[in-house]
Amino acid sequence: MIKLDGVTKAYRYQGIPKYIARDISATIPKGAKLALIGRNGAGKSTLMAMIAGNLNPDRGRISVAGAISWPIGLTGTIQGDLTGIQNVRFLGRIYGVDTDELVDFVGFFADLGLNYAEPVRTYSSGMRGRLAFGMAMGIRFDTYLIDEVTNAGDAAFRKKSNRVFEDRLANAGLIFISHVEGQMRERCTSAAVLEAGGLTLFDDVNDAIAQHHENLQIRAS
């Protein structure tokens, strides 16, 4: 379960506060598969970073029960001067998992070959994406945070990724950011719309998407 209690976060632009979250109180049940929807710049990634514990709210509190991932899709967790293997071992020590098992899993999953032992700064963007996603799938979390993951690799790799991801989600929750509505409908059974610092929960993804479209039309008019 994830509980937000009076959460407020704002940034100042030319002395004027822009609210990402304004006194948000909400509860996301254990195991929920929730799409986080909002316009560009609404603050979806910032809210996810606060849920992950990577960023503190200005006011309020976020409580998380169980193990929660970092926002998967962001490769900021990867250090370019370390090799792929060293990055995986470092992550394994942070999360208290068997580092040898994690290294073996990511090596097989990401299919980096000899590059696995080379500095990550030498990797292509696709290789970095495969490494990051493999690191996330190698650790079993109670809730996965997915932020605009792009499909890296060929069709065979994408098929393998989807199979492993579905296996992980069978016993875990999900908070999912995507601009692809089909992906939201496929992955999620509930949704939340972030608009002007407020968060509205929906039991139906289609209802949330409809509200989001209405918000865009209102802002455009």
Backbone angles phi, psi at 18, to 5 degrees: -110, 115
Distance of alpha carbon 143 from alpha carbon 32, whole angstroms: 9
Concatenated DSSP letters for 26-48?
Answer: EEE-TT-EEEEE--TTSSHHHHH
Domains along the chain with CATH numbers: 2-67+177-220 (3.40.50.300), 79-140+153-171 (no CATH)
- Order across the sheet with 68-72: list the strands: 68-72, 143-147, 173-177, 33-37, 190-195, 198-202
pLDDT at 160 (0 to 100): 85
- Lowest-pLDDT range of 43-47, 116-120, 125-129, 195-199: 125-129
Could you write out the DSSP letters of every residue in 102-121?
A: HHHHHHHHHT-GGGGGSBGG
Percent of the chain at pLDDT > 70 equals 95
Question: Do 72 and 147 meet the contact criterion of CB atoms below 8 Å apart?
Answer: yes
Rounded Cα distance between 36 and 201, Å, is 9
Report the pLDDT averaged over residues 22-42: 96
Q: In a 10 Å sphere around its CB, with 0-12 CB exposed, 13-18 middle and 19+ buried, how is residue 218 labelled?
A: exposed
CB 177 within 8 A of CB 48: yes
Q: Cβ of 190: how many Cβ atoms within 10 Å?
A: 17
Task: State residue 15's pLDDT score.
Answer: 84
Q: Which long-range contacts (CB under 8 A, 24 or more apart) does 94-100 make?
A: 95/67, 95/139, 97/138, 97/139
pLDDT tens, 69-95? 999 875 557 899 999 999 999 999 999
Predicted confidence (pLDDT) at residue 117 exceeds the cutoff of 80: yes
For residues 14-29, one letter each, b for 16 or more C-beta atoms within 10 angstroms of the residue's C-beta and e for the rest, the string is eeeeebbbbebeeebe
Tokens 């009076």 sit at which residue? 6
> What is the mean predicted confidence (pLDDT) over 205-212?
97
Q: What is the pLDDT of residues 143-190, one digit of tens each?
A: 999 987 655 666 777 888 889 989 999 999 999 999 899 999 999 999
pLDDT > 60? residue 21: yes
Percent of the chain with pLDDT over 90: 76
pTM of this structure: 0.88
User: pLDDT at residue 3 above 70?
Assistant: yes
Contact, 184 vs 157, CB < 8 A? no
